[in-house]
């Protein structure tokens, strides 16, 4: 299958360190491994610190940044230019299908799929209009709603990354029959054999250092637990606006290490020596609709996941069989959990081992890729559907 993968969001660097970047690269790699010839079109394909380990062609799209346009008319011109570029790509490459990671103010993939009668599958990772309205600013909101409705309607099938997100889509009027849940995953062979450092217990966090990731909760919880558990260490991989919060809680240098942003393969090597991986999300939204990549990667690394009891996390951790659930936003509860785990290190190891087995057996990007390709292959030709309508 000749597949055009469209990721039109200018905020997602294909070769960057963000979780969304990892998601795009890993799925593209898995699609290629399953036999698809993939062309990835995105506004952000320049080198930004990471690598795409797949025989996929990268094509730079003209970006559509709504905030840069002085009028709706100007924005519509930019959207149409992007659609024309995607049309040229699809025709030149004679693609068989289009897969898109949904982004705001972009309908190029939907428009081209409809015009060329191509199977079109959409991946939705968040209710982007609601996110923009809550946390940034949503420019041209009526236009964003119009485009979103068109894209959802045009898609033959929609993969939502979590059950709560699937429910939000259906509640917003999307046909329930074409919505399916497909969460984040791992490539098991990328995860090295676990490394044991000897004495001490290492707690780790990987991800962007932003408020909703619970970075402040983690800093205060660890500082509290470390006063009781004298061989507890904290390691942090990632960067962001809250990077300084760990300095403010005055952690001793021998108990804390900050790696900063690292390439994905380097991050996975660091995870291999962690005893506990922490995901202390706070309830920043009424519905926790995320598929937490860090939790899945902690599991695959064999680190005992300690994560907030939100959204799909309870299901992912098997009601606590494959990890430890903590109340969101509660530094005291997280500190108590770290102390309890430090007192039962056999439990830490056994839970981590169960999590690793489950992730390697059941949560693979190759499995996701097969679902995508099976779905695209089962879509009837649009021309035939239209002819019999």
pLDDT tens digit string along 128-179?
999 998 888 899 999 999 999 999 999 999 999 999 999 999 999 999 999 9
Residue 199 to residue 146: CA distance in whole angstroms? 58
378 shares a domain with 258: no
236 shares a domain with 313: yes
Nearest CA among 79, 376, 331, 375 for reference residue 226 = 331
- Cα 366–Cα 368–Cα 374 angle in degrees, nearest 5: 100
Phi, psi angle pair for 325, to nearest 5°: -95, 135
379 shares a domain with 317: no
In what helix (H) or strand (E) does residue 306 lie, and over which residues does it extend? strand 304-308
Q: Looking at residue 225, what is its pLDDT?
A: 97
Q: Write out the residue range of the structural domain in which residue 331 sits.
A: 189-362
Contact (CB, 8 A) for 338 and 225: yes
232 shares a domain with 163: no
Q: Looking at residue 196, what is its pLDDT?
A: 79
Q: Which residue has the tokens 């489950």?
A: 358
Pairing label, strands 120-124, 157-160: parallel
Q: Looking at residue 387, what is its pLDDT?
A: 36
207 shares a domain with 318: yes
Cβ contacts of residue 140 below 8 Å, gap of 6+? 66, 69, 72, 75, 105
Q: Looking at residue 382, what is its pLDDT?
A: 58
339 shares a domain with 328: yes
The CATH number that applies at residue 123 is 3.40.50.2000
List pLDDT tens digits, range 307-352: 999 999 999 999 999 999 999 999 999 999 999 999 999 999 999 9
Q: Looking at residue 198, what is its pLDDT?
A: 73
The number of beta carbons lying within 10 Å of the beta carbon of residue 220 is 18
Residue 52 to residue 73: CA distance in whole angstroms? 36
Residue 347 to residue 280: CA distance in whole angstroms? 20
Q: How many H helices and E strands in the chain? A: 15, 13
338 shares a domain with 288: yes
Counting every residue written for the chain, the total comes to 389
316 shares a domain with 180: no
Q: What distance lies between CA 178 and its chain's CA centroid?
A: 21
Q: How many domains does the chain have?
A: 2
Residue 311 to residue 277: CA distance in whole angstroms? 18
Residue 347 to residue 276: CA distance in whole angstroms? 11
Q: Looking at residue 187, what is its pLDDT?
A: 98
Residue 380 to residue 307: CA distance in whole angstroms? 42
202 shares a domain with 95: no
Alpha helices, DSSP H, located in 94-140: 108-116, 128-135
Nearest CA among 386, 389, 388 for reference residue 117 = 386
Q: Looking at residue 381, what is its pLDDT?
A: 65
375 shares a domain with 226: no
Phi, psi angle pair for 230, to nearest 5°: -80, -10
Q: Looking at residue 137, what is its pLDDT?
A: 84
Phi, psi angle pair for 260, to nearest 5°: 75, -170
37 shares a domain with 24: yes
Query: In Å, how far are 69, 334, 383 from 66, measured between CA atoms?
Result: 6, 40, 33
209 shares a domain with 181: no
pTM equals 0.95
Per-residue pLDDT of the chain (389 residues; tens, 9 = 90+): 999 999 999 999 999 999 999 999 999 999 999 999 999 999 999 999 999 999 999 999 999 999 999 999 999 999 999 999 999 999 999 999 999 999 999 999 999 999 999 999 999 999 999 999 888 889 999 999 999 999 999 999 999 999 999 999 999 999 999 999 999 999 999 999 998 777 899 999 999 999 999 999 999 999 999 999 999 999 999 999 999 999 899 888 899 999 999 999 999 999 999 999 999 999 878 899 999 999 999 999 999 999 999 999 999 999 999 999 999 999 999 999 999 999 999 999 999 999 999 999 999 999 999 999 999 999 986 554 443 33
């Amino acid at each position: 299958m000749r597949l055009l993968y469209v990721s039109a969001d200018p905020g997602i660097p294909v070769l960057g360190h963000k979780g969304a970047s990892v998601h795009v690269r890993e799925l593209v790699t898995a699609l290629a491994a399953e036999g698809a010839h993939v062309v990835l079109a995105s506004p952000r394909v320049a080198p930004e610190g990471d690598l795409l380990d797949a025989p996929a062609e990268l094509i730079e799209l003209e970006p559509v940044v709504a905030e840069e346009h002085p009028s709706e008319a100007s924005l519509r011109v930019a959207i149409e230019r992007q659609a024309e570029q995607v049309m040229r790509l699809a025709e030149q490459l004679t693609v068989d299908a289009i897969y898109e990671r949904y982004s705001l103010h972009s309908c190029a993939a939907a428009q081209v799929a409809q015009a060329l009668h191509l199977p079109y599958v959409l991946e939705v990772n968040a209710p982007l209009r609601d996110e923009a309205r809550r946390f940034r600013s949503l420019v041209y909101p009526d236009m964003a709603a119009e485009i979103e409705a068109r894209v959802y309607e045009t898609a033959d099938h929609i993969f939502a990354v979590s059950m709560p997100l699937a429910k939000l889509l259906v509640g917003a009027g999307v046909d329930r029959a074409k919505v399916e849940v497909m969460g984040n995953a791992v490539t098991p062979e990328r995860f090295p054999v676990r490394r044991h450092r000897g004495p001490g217990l290492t707690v780790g966090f990987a991800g962007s250092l932003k408020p909703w990731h619970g970075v402040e909760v983690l800093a205060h919880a660890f500082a509290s637990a470390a006063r009781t558990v004298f061989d507890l260490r904290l390691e942090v991989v990632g960067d962001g606006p809250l990077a300084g919060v760990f300095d403010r809680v005055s952690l001793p240098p021998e108990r804390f290490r900050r790696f900063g942003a690292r390439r994905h393969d380097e991050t996975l090597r660091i995870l291999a020596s962690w005893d506990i991986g922490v995901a202390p999300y706070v309830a920043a939204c009424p519905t926790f609709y995320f598929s937490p990549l860090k939790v899945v990667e902690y599991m695959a690394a064999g680190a005992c996941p300690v994560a907030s009891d939100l959204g799909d996390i309870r299901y992912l951790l098997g009601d606590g069989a494959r990890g430890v659930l903590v109340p969101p936003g509660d530094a005291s509860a997280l500190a108590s959990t770290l102390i309890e785990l430090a007192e039962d290190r056999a439990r830490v190891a056994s839970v981590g081992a169960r999590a690793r087995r489950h992730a390697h057996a059941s949560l693979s990007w190759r499995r996701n890729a097969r679902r995508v390709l099976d779905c695209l292959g089962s879509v009837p030709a649009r021309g035939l559907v239209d002819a019999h309508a």
